[in-house]
Amino acid sequence: MLLTTQGWAPFTIEVDGVQSGTAVEVLDCVLQKMGQPYSIAFIPWIRAQAEVKAGRAHAFFPASRNDERDGYAKSSDQLVSLKWVWFLPKESNLNPKDSSFKKTARVTAEAGSNIAHWLQKNGFNLMPQPDTHQQLALMLQRKRVDAVLASESVFLEGLRELNLSSDMFRKVLEQENSLCVYFSKPFLEKYLDFLERFNAIVPECTE
């Protein structure tokens, strides 16, 4: 089985060929218990999803659910959870909960992410999206946007990698989401009981 992902600490990490991270650890635990051989390819996130859609890979992770992904793949139960959090400059007076924020604030998110999809779908004033969470942090630091919406743990990891202090920003929680594995529908049609067996083992690996 070939799975695709991106470098997205703390969930998925690859350093000198060694793969780790909270989502990788849960996935490895489940597949080991199933006796399922697998490999993980770390590639850009948009391509990670496209490879599954095109039938060149069997699954991508960790991902939150949306209608587009549901069209060609099926999600597992939750592997890990994440919080979608607005980050704004500390001195900013903008409030993401105000009705005017959606139309007037310049916002962005990581390219190809479900967050970017959600922002576009819900009519936010979405600016060009960078490819990495480090670039997100730099865009906000340099005030190229008014706010970014990101996974809290991923954005904070980006700040650490850039040696930037989280004290520069303030946070507003938007929502909490589940991250899962999306398995291609042709794969699941070939192995009819795979997802049921996978989901049955997940609780053993997340407790």
pLDDT at 67 over 80: yes
- Write out pLDDT tens, residues 4-40: 999 998 899 999 999 999 999 999 999 999 999 999 9
What's the Cα-to-Cα distance from 95 to each of 82, 87, 89, 129, 192, rounded to whole Å? 21, 11, 11, 21, 47
Which domains occur in the chain, in start order? 2-80+178-206 (3.40.190.10), 82-176 (3.40.190.10)
pLDDT at 207 over 80: no
Percentage of the chain beyond pLDDT 90 is 89
Helix (H) or strand (E) holding 26: helix 22-34
- Write out pLDDT tens, residues 115-154: 999 999 999 999 999 988 899 999 999 999 999 999 998 8
- How would residue 156 be classed by pLDDT, with cut points 50, 70 and 90? very high
Residues whose CB is less than 8 angstroms from the CB of residue 73 and which lie 6 or more positions away in sequence, other chains included: 52, 53, 59, 60, 182, 183, 184, 185
Distance, in Å, from the CA atom of 119 to the CA atom of 114, rounded to the nearest integer, reads: 9
Distance, in Å, from the CA atom of 191 to the CA atom of 189, rounded to the nearest integer, reads: 6
Encode 93-161 in three state secondary structure: CCCCCCCCHHHHCCEECCCCCHHHHHHHHCCCCECCCCCCHHHHHHHHHCCCCCEEEEEHHHHHHHHHH
Check if the beta carbon of residue 155 is closer than 8 Å to that of residue 136.
Answer: yes
Tokens, residue 121: 């779908």
Q: How far is CA 154 from the centre of its chain?
A: 9
